[in-house]
Homo-oligomer: A and B are copies of this chain.
Amino acid sequence: MIPDKRELLAVARGDLPADLVLQDARIVNVFTGELESGSVAIFGDRIAGVGADYEGRDAVDLRGAFLLPGLIDAHVHIESSMVTPAEFARAVVPRGTTTVVSDPHEIANVHGLEGIRYMLEASEGLPLSVFVMASSCVPATHMGTAGAALTAQDLASLRDHPRVIGLAELMNFPGAIHGDDEVLAKVEAYSDLAVDGHAPGVRGPALNAYVASGPCSDHECTTAEEAAEKLRRGLFVFFREATNARNLEALLPALTPRNSRRVALCTDDRQPPDMLDEGGIDMMVRRVIRHGIDPVEAIRLATLNPAEYFGLTDRGAVAPGRRADLLVTESLDELRPKQVYAGGVLVAHDGKARWPTPALRAAPAPAMNVDVDAVDLSIRWRASRARVIEVVPNQIVTGSALAEPSRTGDLVAADPGNDLLKICVIERHRGTGNTGLGLVRGMGLQRGAIASTVAHDHHNIIAVGVDDRSILEAAGAVAEMGGGLAVADESGVLARLPLPVGGLMSEEPIEEVRAGLDAVVGSARALGSPLHDPFMAMSFLGLEVIPVLKITDQGLVDVDAFEKVGLWVDA
């Protein structure tokens, strides 16, 4: 409850009792880097006073436990959790994250503005504050077919929503660097707010141009040197630890006491098993501390720093007037929230959520405009070398290799013995009948196929397999579910996980979705894939803004050259 400001001030002065006083706390002061002993008075959803002795209608003696601001995830695609915002909250809030800055560009690629509005509605009234950055690159490029395209005008129409606070990652970095009209128009529409960047590997003069075009941050660094250069050029750098892009350890050497104010933490894309087993921002803070960074400094990376970057002056610190989003922990070295308060309400205790599950919000109807039976996956063989997408484990970048494919008759055949499999992207939004075909190394299936509608960012049906029949079985199962993940072999479907909300999210509890995901992943691994999560790996093979070789429904894309290329090198 937002308190009356006059009453809040009366509580701050000590003239009215607080709703709740947290006594004998060791307060983590992110402004000064100090630990302060004292109490914190809460009124409504706000902190009224810090430090002084306050009277309250309720009081909790923290017995010297640490009290710190709720954690902030600077950049996350909630859709990657495969659950609705309410279920996402149930996973992250008990672990101490009380605010996320989300980019709903997954569902926006499927359902456009309707998808973004759904995410805003579905995140109303949660103990998690969900802010939204307007998705700047829908579609990511015109080298893939998405379900929607958002213009600068579409994006500007979102600005009035109180939880829309900036422009989301400007992934079209070549367009930004080269001053593409539409890209600059989008930046202009949000020039007074935070504009997030996305510039993997961009350095030197190109980086100067990217920064000059408008973005204020980057979360795609993979080396400490890259992070250091981006910090020097004025970008805020978000260190990322996603399920399939684990950059934190590599970037920590770039962190110094002098530049740390311009660093924040983000999860970007994390899936249910990692969310439930490892955690999210809380896990990142623990790792930063374990790396040897002072705990208060580590906590700043996930509190004050992102709050300042995004202009969220109502949070990110334990201070008068700010939201009473607070964690209690008995150790800073092994930060584990014992209690979590959101807006002054105890919402989690010992890692257990303590709020009622809200009613489901009506999701957009499933988008599945495809006839899988009509898809032809055959590739005519040539006596030539073919481009092969190479999976890099735990990274979303790929390699690009050349190989001479096997044949069956005059058609290319997968060659599981050499880990050379078929990959396809089947357009599912507009009924174009587009199917992109290619070869992939590193998925490791020995038989059968996997298929999914989680295929960044266009979220068409992506599938990898050893034979066409298995691929079509898996793809057909996915289409039938209105979206989701499936595993098949020639005998039929082996496992499936329905994700009917945009083909990205389930409305079931996260524990059930996790079990379903474990089942399909287990089934895929039983077919021979050595990858931790073959679906997650596959989901980024279609993202034509991450180097170097990717596939969309329109075919292969050389991301460095930023153009479509044929399968055969000498074609």
Contacts and interface: CB of A to CB of B under 8 A. Distances in A.
The 10 closest A-B pairs by CB, nearest first: A33-B258, A234-B319, A49-B208, A212-B321, A12-B209, A6-B179, A212-B320, A211-B320, A12-B208, A32-B259
A262 B308 CA distance: 11
B322 A234 contact: yes
A308 B311 contact: no
Contact of A177 (B13, B34, B231, B259): B13
Contacts of A257: 257
Given A5-B212, A10-B179, 10 more contacts: A9-B179, A9-B209, A12-B205, A13-B177, A31-B259, A48-B212, A49-B205, A49-B209, A234-B320, A311-B311
Interface of A: 5-6, 8-10, 12-14, 29, 31-34, 36, 46-52, 54, 177-179, 184, 204-209, 211-214, 216, 228, 231-234, 256-259, 261-262, 296-297, 308, 311, 313, 317, 319-322
A178 B9 contact: yes
A297 B13 CA distance: 36
A94 to B, nearest CB: 27
A547 B359 CA distance: 56
A15 to B, nearest CB: 9
Given A29-B232, A234-B31, A258-B33, A212 B179 contact: no
B321 A50 contact: no
Contacts of A296: 258
Contacts of A178: 9, 13
Contacts of A317: 234
A33 B205 CA distance: 21
A21 to B, nearest CB: 13
9 contacts: A12-B208, A32-B256, A49-B208, A51-B233, A207-B320, A234-B317, A234-B320, A261-B261, A308-B308
A262 B317 CA distance: 13
The residue in A12, A50, A317 that gathers the most chain B C-beta atoms within 10 A of its C-beta is: A12
Contacts of A233: 31, 50-51, 319-320
Contacts of A206: 13
A469 B46 CA distance: 59
Contacts of A308: 308
Given A261-B261, A320-B209, A232 B31 contact: yes
A165 to B, nearest CB: 11
Contacts of A31: 231-234, 259, 262
Contacts of A322: 234
Nearest to A176: B9
Contact of A321 (B49, B211, B256): B211
